[in-house]
Structure 1
């Protein structure tokens, strides 16, 4: 008898698949469920072999069908005050607790269960399962799998990303570019500070420019009212520099991000910031030839903006059985990569609330998992139709 969702979720949570660490034992477990059911499974491995993506297919190997997509990695628990072991699933008052319960092993468990159900039915179109690694650190792992799939002749009809939306249908998310500004000054003794160039001061000036660009985007930039924050944002999250109080610091690093709506081009925003950086350092070059603020890109992923009038939106909304309007989510997903790489429509819909993720005592409501299970059962039913 095929395992039910609670058992699958318990096993998935038990694998501490923190980003950049191995997920191979989790994939071994998933394969142990899928392969005996007659489901085709492939892996797309990281270059060092420590982790991998998984692509599974139930039903005929033909064009069309639907992809259920989720990531296997979770954020760290170090430094968080958990009430219990985060890698042991715990049920209490209608909730399942554990690291990854909502982001996003709850959906993955439901998707695996749907794959097993699909394997026992007469599908006219395939159901695919995509499991990725290193999503939480910039949607890094899935790229190799998408690149490989894009070279193949068959294409799914569309993709469902199961990130937590409260089982609301989401058509988009912002794109993100993560960057590092490296500020270069000249060190010296703090007693003679004016004779040196303080890199922290350069960094502080650059932070002011970031704030000014953010204020400009907020007041005069493009708008998308579907988002809670309806404009593109610039956020600085990390600043490092200095060795000792009596040393004028030679270098400073600032890590920041741009989260952009579809109407804004992040490269244009970056071009403005490069101009700002040069304006900060150029007055110092007569005295300090090495003065510089260099900006490097750490990672990026595209936004997602599936048209509201897409037939895929109508189909999935009908399967959800809701008249609620579609939404766009504040967090990023792998959806934009699937949409660009495979040139297919992508939607986001999954159980739970992202507000419960990335924190101690992470949980998902059991009622949300049950709603997801019923939804995916209807998804599988669509693939049984002759005109699917």
Structure 2
């Protein structure tokens, strides 16, 4: 499959490779003013978030696992915290309003756009890929519905990527793999040999890559522009956008992202994410994601009954995902949310359905593409302790 380098940046971009991460004692945690003082912890609302546990999560940053963390908790009792460094070379404090790569939380935006189009009667959730994108799938494929794409039961197999892990993908980080190329490699594998569409939930980017192409075909507009005019601008998400094509930079204030590669801490901030498209290309802030989360759950982004699709898990064994949101239980609470990860950045948005508790974080994780559970347990779970 052809790939197109981004020569102007390939030749000039050098990875910042460090032999060791500064110890917590040399670049101390810097929580937002007053949020982690002894007085603030003592005065915390007993029915609000577990401030003491949240502050403990921030303590000691940067460390081996993360260089910075930005956390926003809302609902019954608001709390914001930031700790760590903007970059490990200077040790400058982390920026609370930093922009970051939000990874698969992009899927919330994509699902919302599709459901808006359904509410307008421009597509049917029971309509098929074969109807809206004729020729995309071969005759080997059974009909695949829009709803099955939304809830990850389409039976499409994963498409191509530029590497299965950060170590191998890093060398190809300025190459371009288009959504069309990604889908073509999926189609070339044929249908899932074990499950027909609708029978099995397999989380993956391919479902939402196809949805991005569907949005563009139905609207006659780019996916990024539709997201801007339908969601970001109406909600006042001023600092949320998608990169311009293969642009590997995060424009505006941001904390650097790092990953351990061959035993060295490497700056992975600049990275062409165009292959992620409608499945994971978003750049945003924690405040903007919180704004999206609250507006979405309140029905201001997607109207009923289409909104119900986001909170409806298909009736198949092992399923946990609705349309762009995952259901899980924590401390007796039902939580709906989404994680996202890109090299150097791990993101969570989560809330109870009634918005009595919300949490959004961006963690500059040094293993963001690894097991994100440990990161979520440290930085997100305390928000739901009580």
TM-score (norm 2): 0.25
Identify, as 1 or 2, the structure richer in helix. Answer: 1
TM-score (norm 1): 0.25
Identify, as 1 or 2, the structure richer in strand. Answer: 1
- Say which one has the larger Rg: 1
